[in-house]
Amino acid sequence: MYSGIRYLVVLALVGFTSALVVAEPASKVYLESYRSAELESEEWSEASSHLVVLGSLEKVNRELQPEKSEIFYGRRYQETYYLPEARRTEQVFDHYRMQLEQLGQVLFQCDGRACGSSSYWANKVFKEAILYGPEQFQKYLIAERSDSGGYVAVYVGQRATRKIYVHQVHFLPQD
């Protein structure tokens, strides 16, 4: 009898937790991951306003901010991957750049120190401290999707430990 009750409780808990999972919208674009990519984190943000960085960072009144940006109203999905087999940020970046060029129009890209502060990108723009590393090993690209009016951004960075991470951000229009 007790095993039957436990079974029902487990089924109820599984049903409850699965109801809490947010379904992925059909408009999310799946970029082909770099070989052996390991998902570190992912986050969905429902309808609200999000900062879309469309230019490098510059100092204004002793504070860093994007030289060009836009506020996007919609949903955002972001994911960070660790790439244990990657050795060069250029190869990783090229892998994602080719996919984004197929997806839509590239609006901005930067490489190394031209992107600005790696700390700002990691902690302020993406809120993922794991992305922080030497500025010469960072790359960023953002493209406007030709199919939906949303954006897809990719940031590649190498930490001082030589570990390479890629961060994808999908800005999705509201349904």
8 Å CB contact between 100 and 143 = yes
90-127 pLDDT, tens digit each: 999 999 999 999 999 999 999 999 999 999 999 989 99
Tell me the domain boundaries of the chain: 2-173
Supply φ then ψ for residue 38, to 5 degrees.
Answer: -115, 120
- Give the tokens for residue 164: 């390479």
What are the b/e assignments for 57-87, b being 16+ CB within 10 Å?
beeeeeeebbeeeeebebbbbbbbbbbeebe
Select the more confidently predicted residue: 34 or 64.
Answer: 34
20-32 pLDDT, tens digit each: 334 444 456 679 9
Model pTM score: 0.82
8 Å CB contact between 115 and 139 = yes
- What's the rounded Cα separation, in Å, for the pair 92 and 103? 17
Average pLDDT of the residues in 30-38: 91
